[in-house]
Structure 1
């Protein structure tokens, strides 16, 4: 079972799990109105553990339902390769759901409601009657919601001191997830077409999809930068906005140039830039809010 637990963690994409924890931590900082280390309560750590269990379960569910297209796309994930049996993945998923609900309920009823929303959206994304992952509007709505609820959860766990910058940052970075996160679909058209998905490269073709994502990334990046530089209520967000805008330029260059044309590994470069931008943005914001 420990081996299956490790494989379930690999299946859930640790790099994605960590960024969800950084989003949660960002919500905590805005919720306390102080640097990390001040006003810390054990309940925050319990809530973070519950949130990790929830996001882990969501991505594990996704791995279970994506097995056919992952195999078609040549994925190296444990479920697609048969190293993690579906029965074991399903059992671990239920354990994680129970842990997520128990931890969040221990913290507060509000946290329990938020984790229930998170799990419901995650389930609907992969396993609903008409899974959200099958269409572009569904993908945008569900992924953006997962981001917003995560920031809100950190804020709630910290005590919920309202902050306009939290609202702005949460919306911008959740839109970054929903609008630019579709870069992950660029190398997976074969499997997605087999599964009947309507992703941007399938609907518009590779060239138009790349141009569309580049435009959307630029809109998010430049809007955030201009707003942070000019609006009083966006105080403290300018360094993070500079990172997002720089990331939007980098994503656009990679999308529209030949450096992301080739085999599947090469075609994943826009997604890697997208993820790097998220890490750099949250690290920039959090590094300014750490107790020395």
Structure 2
């Protein structure tokens, strides 16, 4: 084997390792739930159009995966100071993935997302552009949205809504209407008003980085009470909206409502207090509820098809 061949093999191995680390940095559990959101929008759209073009749907899904991966990898670059202060073990924080390498991968992913989005439709391209723009504003803007509660809530809500809309467009369903609006708005609200439970375990680094999160602003106990109330508000509002406007979504809304009750219990009792792992339990309830909700939606849609 020649020296050139050995060098090429080493470069390929190094590139593959960097991509693997970049995937880990972007939090696979979050990437999967974003894809579930996309698929939920597509599944709801399919109920209106019937047959969905498989090639178009796959291209759109890959486009969205590239965009969300880019957004969260960029966030990892932006959060390195607070991540290290909080004891994060993600690749950038522990020094295994250089920030410069991560930034190059972000550019490659963003370009891939835009090109694939353009192949689907002008609307999909626009949605990818908006997704990348919101992600950049959240992490890297002149006044990053992550630094302030209003910016956090608006940007996270937007990331959710754009994802459900992208799935709907991938199905070729046209203007959004009906259950996708109820489901998309409710679950995007869940992202913002229950997802901020992540801040409970990150107060040290957030304060160091100048982030004005709810625990930093109110103190931990008051923040827990507000988070519990906000999650419950989303759960019960979803139930009421489903009962009045989209009855087929009622079983799905009940899952969110139950999840909100569990989250409130964990957040305001010793179950969610103690060391960093314990403080992350409310956030884990938030994530599990998302998975359970989307899987319940798919099950309900499948049963409707059988019926």
TM-score tier by shorter-chain length is over 0.9
Question: Of 129, 150, 156, which aligns to 1:137?
Answer: 150
| Deviation, structure 1 residue 289 | 2.4
Structure 2: gaps of 5 or more residues:
1-14
Deviation sequence 1:188-224 (CA, Å, 0-9, x none): 0000000000000000000000000100111111111
**TM-score (ref. length: structure 1):** 0.96
2:182–2:242 contact (8 Å) kept in structure 1: no
In structure 2, the residue matched to 1:54 is 67
Whether the 8 Å contact between 1:140 and 1:179 is mirrored in structure 2 is yes
2:237 to 223, 227, 236: 223
Instruction: Check conservation: 1:11, 1:63, Cα contact below 8 A.
Output: yes
Q: Structure 2 length normalisation: TM-score?
A: 0.92
- Looking at structure 1, the residues matched to 220 and 98 of structure 2 have their Cα atoms a distance apart, in angstroms, of 34
Are positions 1:12 and 2:26 aligned together? yes
Is structure 2 residue 252 aligned with structure 1 residue 240? Answer: yes
Corresponding residue of 1:174: 188
**Structure 1: any 5+ residue segments left out of the alignment?**
none
Partner of residue 189, structure 1: 203
* 2: CA distance, partners of 1:259 / 1:108: 48
1:284 counterpart residue number: 296
Partner of 1:105: 118
Q: CA deviation at 1:113?
A: 0.4
Structure with higher RCO (Cα < 8 A, 6+ apart): 1
The structural deviation recorded for 1:38 is 4.2
Query: Is the 8 Å Cα contact of residues 31 and 163 (structure 1) preserved in structure 2?
Result: no
Listed one character per residue, the Cα deviations across residues 68-87 of structure 1 (whole Å, up to 9, x for unaligned) are 11000000000000000111
Q: What is the match of residue 129 of structure 2?
A: 116
Matches within 5 A, 1:28-107: 28-33=42-47, 38-107=51-120
How many residues are aligned here? 289
1:240-264 Cα deviation digits (max 9, x unpaired): 0110000000000000100111111
State the superposition RMSD in angstroms.
1.4
One of 197, 212, 220 as aligned partner of 1:206: 220
Contact kept? 1:30, 1:163, Cα under 8 Å: no
Give the distance between the partners of 2:162 and 2:177, measured in 1 at CA. Answer: 15
Question: Which of 265, 281, 284 is 1:272 aligned to?
Answer: 284
C-alpha separation in 1, matches of 2:48 and 2:161: 20
Return the index of the structure with the highest Cα Rg.
2
Question: Secondary structure, in 3 states, of the residue corresponding to 1:237?
Answer: helix
Does residue 24 (structure 1) correspond to residue 38 (structure 2)? The answer is yes
